Structure 1
Amino acid sequence: MKNATILAVQIALAFSLAACSKKQEETPAGAPAAAAAAAAAAAAAAPSLADLHNPEAVNKAVAATLPKGDPATPLNAYRKIDSGHQVMFMYYALSNMPAPYDEIAKTYSDEYRRTSDSFKQRDILKALQPRIDGEIAGAKNGRYVMVDQQDSRLLQRYDFEKKSFAINDFSDDRYTFFNDNSQYTLATTNAADFSAFKVTDEARAREIEGYLSSYKPLRLETYAYAQDADPSNRRIKLQVMKVRLLDARGTVLAEM
């Protein structure tokens, strides 16, 4: 599925390049300056043939084809994700693949996993199936999620030139998992847009730096929209919508 998606994007890139070339050919020689400038900007932004062999460009193109969340969604509409089981149900909700009930039950139910009695396993599985189906259906209708992280090493130290605190976990090659079920993971498709908190107020920057220098825990709330499931590594792709930094008392220190 992933290879097919990438192939589709590559074809789209190629057609986009061809369409751009055709537009340039059809532009009249005496076009107004504004139109010529717009055409030049479009040509600069258009994909090149080299992009078809550039993994980063292809990944960006793939991300551009995914469904997008609504920025106007209120924060109280996001449901908290704090278990790998929730990620598992979301994965099967978005992948549209048949749920492997036996495999899910082994992870989800201690009773099912501990018994070696095949009749008991069958009875437990029969009882679990409606619950599993319900969790998957709920996940499909609950794609706005919030991940709450608490640590003393969430941020890098203050960058005086950029006047910002970089977020350690926000990079394209990082992913999040939960210990109760680490087989299913979360990753972001727009991490670069939320890579650092811009803090220009010196008093607030000093306060946050004080937490970091004394290794006091901070909280990072990441609000995101679940866009897709990647079957190659059982990973949910998240579009980050909003990020908030809070202290241990729940006071918001920075947000974007």
Structure 2
Amino acid sequence: MQKTALTLITSASLLLLTLTGCSDKPAEQSNTPAAEVPQEQAAAVTSEAPTVAKLSVGDAAKPLAEYAEWQGNNHVMFTYYALSKIPVDYDKVLENYSQEYRDSNDNFRKNDLKNALKEQIDAEIAAAANVKYLKTSWNYFILEAYDFTSLSFPQSKLTNNSIFYWQENHRYHPYQISFTNGDDFKNLVVKDEATARRIEELRSKFQQLNLNLYTFVQATDPAQNAVKVQVVAVELVDGQGNVLLTQYSK
């Protein structure tokens, strides 16, 4: 599986995406998330989905080193089925899971592939059910200038109900991740002046800054084919991977 980009958009962009044909975009790009790659949509949580108040939350005491890695869109898809416990639509899953199945016009070949891969798909879903703490890195990220009143770097990309997914093999994938508490990180607080100066220097010179997102799987949103996650913590890191700040959810 080749990961080429991760896209993030807010629910406020849904109408625009609908009119333009799903062209992901907060306009940039990156090797983990990017924000200018097609494919995103954000929709209101349906009445059938659990409200944020009822969702379980992650343990902030869990060491960040113990988080597993999100492995891309298919991993999100398997997690979605593991949580929702709805019957697996193998044809739909295989359209995303197997390029050979997706590209074949031979119905007998497609049926043979489905029979051959069902057990493997079931195993992937079962494995996903046992992993709730997952992390990923978002390379495309823009901080605003340091604010001396709040002692923080404001950002507006990671918000409540904003979503992202990876762009893999230049094709749209219907399963995605939705954040339930992104607003907790609209200000990345840095009270230490030396650290704030270092980040501001990197930001002002357009140097690489990445966000490591540490998430806890909470529920599914059928309206978006989304896995709803709480962001337990974020790390801001420089281009060499040095951690500049760590901030936990409120």
* TM-score calculated relative to the size of structure 2: 0.75
Q: Matched residue pairs, number?
A: 200
| SS in structure 2 of the partner of residue 158 of structure 1 | coil
Equivalence for 1:123: 112
Distance 1:213 1:122 in 2: 55
Residues 1:200 and 2:191 are matched in the alignment? yes
| SS in structure 2 of the partner of residue 250 of structure 1 | coil
Q: Please tell me the root mean square deviation across aligned C-alpha atoms, in Å.
A: 1.8
Per-residue Cα deviation, 1:68-127 (whole angstroms, up to 9, x for no partner) = 222222223211114111111111111111111011111111111111112211111111
Equivalence for 1:254: 245
Residues 1:225 and 2:216 are matched in the alignment? yes
Equivalence for 1:158: 146
Equivalence for 2:157: 169
Equivalent positions of 1:43-192 (< 5 A) are 62-151=51-140, 153-180=141-168, 181-192=172-183
Distance 2:155 2:70 in 1: 20
Shift of 1:226: 0.6
Shift of 1:168: 3.0
> Contact 2:49/2:222 (CA < 8 Å) preserved in 1?
no
Distance 1:208 1:97 in 2: 45
> Contact 1:106/1:113 (CA < 8 Å) preserved in 2?
yes
Distance 1:221 1:193 in 2: 15
Distance 1:70 1:155 in 2: 27
Q: Percent identity?
A: 36
Shift of 1:246: 0.7
Shift of 1:175: 1.2
| Runs of 5+ consecutive residues of structure 1 not aligned to the other structure | 7-61
Shift of 1:173: 4.2
Shift of 1:193: 2.2
> Contact 2:78/2:128 (CA < 8 Å) preserved in 1?
yes
Distance 1:188 1:219 in 2: 18
| SS in structure 2 of the partner of residue 3 of structure 1 | coil
User: Which amino acid in 1 is paired with 2:216?
Assistant: Y
Shift of 1:198: 0.9
Q: Against the structure 1 CA distance between its residues 159 and 195, is the aligned structure 2 distance closer, same or farther, given a 3 Å change threshold?
A: same
Per-residue Cα deviation, 1:209-252 (whole angstroms, up to 9, x for no partner) = 12211211111111110100000111111111111111111111
Distance 2:238 2:48 in 1: 44
> Contact 1:90/1:139 (CA < 8 Å) preserved in 2?
yes
Distance 1:216 1:255 in 2: 19
Shift of 1:4: 3.9
Equivalence for 2:47: 3
Shift of 1:167: 3.1
Larger radius of gyration: 1
* Greater helix content: 1
| Runs of 5+ consecutive residues of structure 2 not aligned to the other structure | 1-44
Equivalence for 1:244: 235
Runs of 4+ aligned structure 1 residues displaced above 4 Å come to none
Shift of 1:144: 0.7
Equivalence for 2:36: none
> Contact 2:161/2:182 (CA < 8 Å) preserved in 1?
no
Distance 1:5 1:86 in 2: 21
